[in-house]
Amino acid sequence: MTSTTGRSAAPVPFLYTRHDLDNLKSAGARLMLLGGSDPTFRHLNAFPFAPHLAFWQAHYAGIGFDTFMVSTGGGKVMGTDGNARLISRINPDALIGMPTFLYHLLQHAASENQNWTSL
């Protein structure tokens, strides 16, 4: 079960059905193709863990595309430095996340002289 967020009204709980999850997988696989990804790529999902549709879309995109996808939970779980260390360790081919957080993460990497050659 998840719920709506980011509104001034009370959260509204709802459930994803198997049909919904299958749609997230197939739509996610199409998004990966449109984005120029490849199933052999390593992907890092930096969307926050939450009832956040973007997180779940990226998660199920990895499943639907049958590819390596690790989710970090964004900056609140591992912090910027933790995300940067994980990227250096797994050397992903693609980052998926909020543009502002990815920009912040890339600035951090540049300031630390980290070399992410697969991106």
Q: Per residue of the chain (119 residues), what is the pLDDT tens digit?
A: 666 666 677 877 778 899 999 999 999 999 999 999 999 999 999 999 877 789 999 999 999 999 999 999 999 999 999 999 999 999 999 999 999 999 999 999 999 999 999 99
Q: What is the side-by-side order of every strand in the sheet holding 42-48?
A: 68-73, 42-48, 94-96
- pTM summary value: 0.88
Nearest Cα residue to 44 out of 20, 27, 61, 30? 61
